[in-house]
Chains A and B, each alone.
Chain A
Amino acid sequence: MKGTAKLLLLSSLVVLYFGLGVVGPWYADVPFQGSIAALCVLLRLQTSGWRGLRTDLAFLLPFLCTLVAMGALLDAFAMANRTDWTEDALCKALVFPNSFWSIQLAVGALRLTDLVALPRGVRRFFILTHALVSKSRPLIERLWWLVCHDPSLQTGPWIIRSGRRLTVLLAAALIAVYHETEATVRVYDARMALLEENPS
């Protein structure tokens, strides 16, 4: 399968998962989320092998551990009179990798040749989104390395240091992705204008 049909199928599957498992009734359904996680792991193994899966886990685990630790901390202080912080954090720790993998697998399965057959307006949006999603991960990994080695973010207790690093990463990533989007749009529009002038 390729072209528009492939795009529609992949988009529908991602929307279906988000509709049911992220904002829908099966958000806290552990067997459903577990099955999706197992399926994503298998597909990830098939597409990128152990190395790809290890890289994904190295990217996801620090965030997931922090999430669960925050849940336990909020539970310990009975924040907002709630006692389900840990449970909610554990749900999020399943839902987040599933959302991440579902988008990553869908984007990874799409080729630019699948997108060129789309109508002009939609094509521009999908090609730009595809390019940005592909660039974002290495960009964020590099930003995280730079943040972790920034001498101004090396001091203080672990929790404060990690919080400052995450804040700086978020701000830097927003600016970087914004700049990257502008650059990608400029290159795409210039290339399309050139192709329209010289169609051969």
Chain B
Amino acid sequence: MNSSGQSTHPSLREESLQHEDPMLLGPWEIGVHPPGLTYRIPAISLPYGSRVWLSGDNGAGKTVFLERVLLPRLAAMGRQVFLVAQDLLLQAHVMAAVLASRGQRAPRCLDDLVMAWCAPARPNSILLLDEADRHLSPRTIHQLLELPLAFVVAVSHQGRPCTTTHCFTICRHETLVHLEIGP
């Protein structure tokens, strides 16, 4: 809602976001059903251009955090969010169809396809990479992290990409999931 009490279209809200605004997350306590997890996210302010490495054990809830917690909230803030999902080989079909709907030819190489799909991203867009390094070359991951975007969050089990500026860890204790800053 804007100051006059009228709802604002997401694209108008996005235009009102300054390119260099910091990203403010939390504090949130969000239940996600299924799989029945509760996420406790502290208040975090990330400067423009942050590159975040998100780590955590297998099954800790990183993918659920990206897809069911972070993505919907960023979209509600009016941000344009590009998610490169963990099942990228399936998402590639959507990417190819999207490129075709834009009148573009879809590259056969997966790395080129992802780069072409991300091409319309604007300086205030956000990129979420969910274990994209399982399918994409290190060079492409580096190129994605170097795109002129507001924020990039990358989940990786291959170690911390050298261009990341922050590191968050997802920790799960039974059904309660915390987001910790560090190590």
Contacts and interface: CB of A to CB of B under 8 A. Distances in A.
Q: Is the interface of A mostly helix, strand, loop or mixed?
A: helix
Interface string B76-112: 0000111101010011011011101110000000000
Given A152-B120, A171-B100, A143 B94 contact: yes
A93 interface: no
A146 B88 CA distance: 10
A149 B125 contact: no
B75 to A, nearest CB: 8
A153 B93 contact: no
B107 to A, nearest CB: 14
A175 B97 contact: yes
Contacts of B8: none
Interface residues of B, number: 25
B93 A152 contact: no
Interface string A162-179: 001001110111011001
B90 A146 contact: yes
B10 interface: yes
A179 B91 CA distance: 13
Query: Which has the most chain B C-beta neighbours within 10 Å: A152, A153, A164?
Result: A152
B100 A139 contact: no
Contact of B81 (A146, A151, A173): A151
Contacts of B81: 149, 151
A153 B90 CA distance: 17
Contacts of A155: 11
B71 interface: yes
Nearest to A180: B90
Contacts, number: 58
A175 B83 CA distance: 20
A155 B80 CA distance: 10
Contacts of A173: 93
A37 interface: no
Contacts of A153: 98
A64 B93 CA distance: 25
Nearest to A151: B80
Nearest to B127: A151
B83 A149 contact: yes
A5 B87 CA distance: 39
A150 B87 CA distance: 14
Contacts of B11: 155
A139 B94 CA distance: 12
Contact of B125 (A139, A142, A151, A168): A151
A164 B87 contact: no
Contacts of B94: 143, 146-147, 150, 168, 172
B170 to A, nearest CB: 20
A136 interface: no
B90 A143 contact: yes
A154 interface: yes
A172 B85 CA distance: 15
Contacts of B97: 167-169, 171-172, 175
Interface of B: 10-11, 67, 71, 75, 80-83, 85, 87, 90-91, 93-94, 96-98, 100-102, 117, 120-121, 125
Given A146-B91, A154-B10, 14 more contacts: A139-B90, A143-B94, A146-B94, A149-B71, A151-B80, A151-B120, A151-B125, A167-B101, A169-B97, A171-B93, A171-B96, A172-B93, A172-B96, A176-B90
